[in-house]
Amino acid sequence: MTMNPDKSRPLPAEGNTSRGDTFFAVASLCGCAAIVFLAGAAVTIGNVFPGPEIRRAYEGGMALYEKATMTQDVHTSDLWFPERSPGKGVTVPATERSQGGVTLYTTGDQPSAYLIDMDGQVLHQWTKPFSQVWSADWGGVADPQPDQFVYFRHAHVYPNGDLLATYEGVGDTPYGYGLVKLDRNSNVVWRYPGRAHHQFSVAPDGKIYTLTHEIVDDVLPSFEHLESPRLEDFLVVLAPDGEELQKIRLLPAMAASKYRHILYATSGFALGDPLHANAVKYITAAQAANFPWAKEGDILFSFREANGVAVMDPKTGDVHWATRGPWLGQHDADLLDNGHLLLFDNYANYQGEDGSSRVLEVDPKTMAIVWQYAGTKDHPLESRIRSDQQRLANGNTVITESNGGRILEVTPEGEIVWEFMNPVRAAFNGQTIIPIVAWAERLDPATLDPTLLVPTGRQASLTRAHTGPASAVPEEVASESHSPASAAAEAGPHTPGNAPGTNHPAGALSARLLPAGLASAPLTDADLASAHRPFAEQIKETN
C-alpha cells in the first residue's frame, strides 16, 4: 500500500473506487437523466422549442409508418370485416310494406357505384380507379395510395346518368382524395382536386356543398389544448361545373360561435382531428319550415369527434345553432320535414345484445328520442364507423350498416321489409371477409333517365368476385349474382361452379368490370379469361 505524501491516510489501490464514489456516479447519471426527462416534458407540454418540432417529427414518422403498413394488404384495412352472414344479394325480398324504387350504393372493394332494383339486379354501374383520374400536375394528392385502397365514399346520380362521387384513400392522412364527375359510361366530366371526404350535398340550383380537410399548423386562441398540427375541416362550395366558389374553415367558425363550449368536450384522443365532420346537408325550404334555427340554404353538419351537429349560414360563415345529444360518434345527420333530426348513432346503444349502433329520430326542441331502430338479438345493428340512413316517403327507413356490408329497409315498427348483403367475399387468415357498403340511397325511378333502368342481363346474372390479390381469394370464395335466386340458394350449401342464374363457373367473371358497351354481348373465352387477370389490367380495358 502506498502512502499519500500530503496526507497521513493511505491511497486506494489502483483500479478500485470507494462505494461512495460509485454511488455518486450512479446518482449523477440518474440526476442527469431526470433533468433531461423533465426538460423534455417541459418543452413538450409547454409547447417550447424543440418540443413542437420533436412532436411533429414523431407524428410524421408514425403517419408514414401507418401508411406503409396499411398498404401491405387491403384485407387488413377497415374496408373489410369478418362476414356476419353467408347471404349475398337480396336476402329479405321486398314486401307490400316496402317502399319501391331503385337503390344506389358504393362499396369498399373498389371505386364503383351500383344502381340496383328491388330484386338486387344491377341496372347500371360506374367504375373509375383513382389512378385514371389522378395525375402529377393535377394539384391533388401528392403520393396517393394504391388503387385497391381508394374507393367511392359517397355518390349522387343525376337524371341523365352522370355520377358525382367522393374518393377516399384508406391508410392516408388526409384521406379525402377529391371529387369526380363521371358520365354514364364512367368517362370523366370534371374533377376537383381539393381533399374532399365523406359526403357532399347537391343543392336545387346545382351547386355542390362538400367537405374537405387539410393539415393546419397554428394555435387557435382560447383552444390551445388542441394539437398543432392537426386535421381541420372546411366547407367548400362548388359550381355545377366543379369550379370552387367559396371555402370556409369550420373550426374557427365553431370557436367564434356561442356554441364554442362543444370544442372543450373533445376527447383527448381526438385533439388532432377535433371536429371530424362527416356529413353536410343543404337545408331545403320544407325542412326549414319546422326547424326554427335555420332557413333555406343553410347547411347542417355532423361532427363525429365533438358528438355534435351544427347549422351554418354559408353566406356569412356564422354558426347559429349547434347541439349534442343522446348519441356517440354519430354519422349522417339529416333534417326531416317535421323538424326532427335523423342520424346513425354508431356507439351509444349500450342495452342488450342488439349491437352497439342504432338509428335515432330526435326532436331538437326537447332532445327526446321519438323513434329508434336498434336491431334485434337475431339481427343486431353494429357499425363502429361510417353508416347512414334515409327516411322514405312511406315512413320506412333505409339503413346502411357499413361494417356489416348490409343495406336494410325497416318499417316504423322495426320490421325488416328488404335486405341486401354485399355479394362480394374474400378469404383471409382462414376466415371469410366482406367489404363494407360505404353508402346507399333509395331513389324514385321516375327521377332518372329510363334507359338507366333496364336490367343489364350480363351484369345481373354473372358471378361477382373480389379481384384483389389472387392469394387472398380462392376460387371457392366467390360472390353470387345480383338475383333473387342467389339469395334463395343460400338456404342450402354453396356449391362452387353452380352459381344460380349463370351458366359459368362461380368466380368466372367479375361483372363489376364489364365495359358498358358489352352489356348485352355474348360471352367469349376472352371474357372468361379476363377474370383471372390482375385488377389493374382489367380496369385499363374497361375505359
Count of domains forming the chain? 3
Identify the domain boundary among 408, 428, 453.
453
Identify the domain boundary among 453, 473, 490.
453
Residue 11 lies in a domain: no
Q: Does residue 400 sit in the same domain as residue 469?
A: no
Compute the distance between CA of residue 484 and CA of residue 457 in angstroms, rounded to an integer.
13
Measured CA distances, 419 to 119, 121, 264, 367, 486 (Å): 10, 13, 40, 30, 13
Q: Does residue 211 sit in the same domain as residue 196?
A: yes
Q: Does residue 261 sit in the same domain as residue 329?
A: yes
Based on C-alpha coordinates, what's the Rg of the chain? 28
Q: Does residue 335 sit in the same domain as residue 433?
A: yes
**What pLDDT does residue 6 have?**
54
Q: How many CB atoms lie within 10 A of CB 321?
A: 18
Measured CA distances, 538 to 364, 435, 445, 526, 529 (Å): 50, 20, 31, 12, 11
**What pLDDT does residue 275 have?**
98
Its domain, for residue 503, covers 463-540
* Nearest-5° Cα angle at 189, 188 to 193: 75
Residue 21 lies in a domain: no
**What pLDDT does residue 136 have?**
77
Q: How many CB atoms lie within 10 A of CB 142?
A: 7
Identify the domain boundary among 453, 482, 501.
453
Q: Does residue 58 sit in the same domain as residue 185?
A: no
Q: How many CB atoms lie within 10 A of CB 324?
A: 17
Q: Does residue 367 sit in the same domain as residue 509?
A: no
**What pLDDT does residue 180 have?**
98
Whether the CB-CB separation of 140 and 193 falls below 8 Å is answered with yes
Q: Does residue 287 sit in the same domain as residue 237?
A: yes
**What pLDDT does residue 504 have?**
29
Q: Does residue 517 sit in the same domain as residue 417?
A: no
- pTM (predicted TM-score): 0.77
Q: How many residues does the chain have?
A: 543
128: left (phi over 0), alpha (psi -120 to 50) or beta: beta
Q: Does residue 443 sit in the same domain as residue 305?
A: yes
Residue 20 lies in a domain: no
Segment 47-103, tens digit of pLDDT: 666 655 555 555 555 555 565 555 579 999 999 999 999 999 999 999 999 999 999
Residue 308 lies in a domain: yes
Q: Does residue 425 sit in the same domain as residue 395?
A: yes
**What pLDDT does residue 66 have?**
61
Q: Does residue 63 sit in the same domain as residue 91?
A: no
**What pLDDT does residue 212 have?**
99
Instruction: Name the stretches of the chain with pLDDT < 50.
Output: 458-465, 467-543
**What pLDDT does residue 20 have?**
72
Q: Does residue 108 sit in the same domain as residue 191?
A: yes
Q: What is the CATH number of the domain that holds 187?
A: 2.120.10.30
**What pLDDT does residue 137 have?**
82
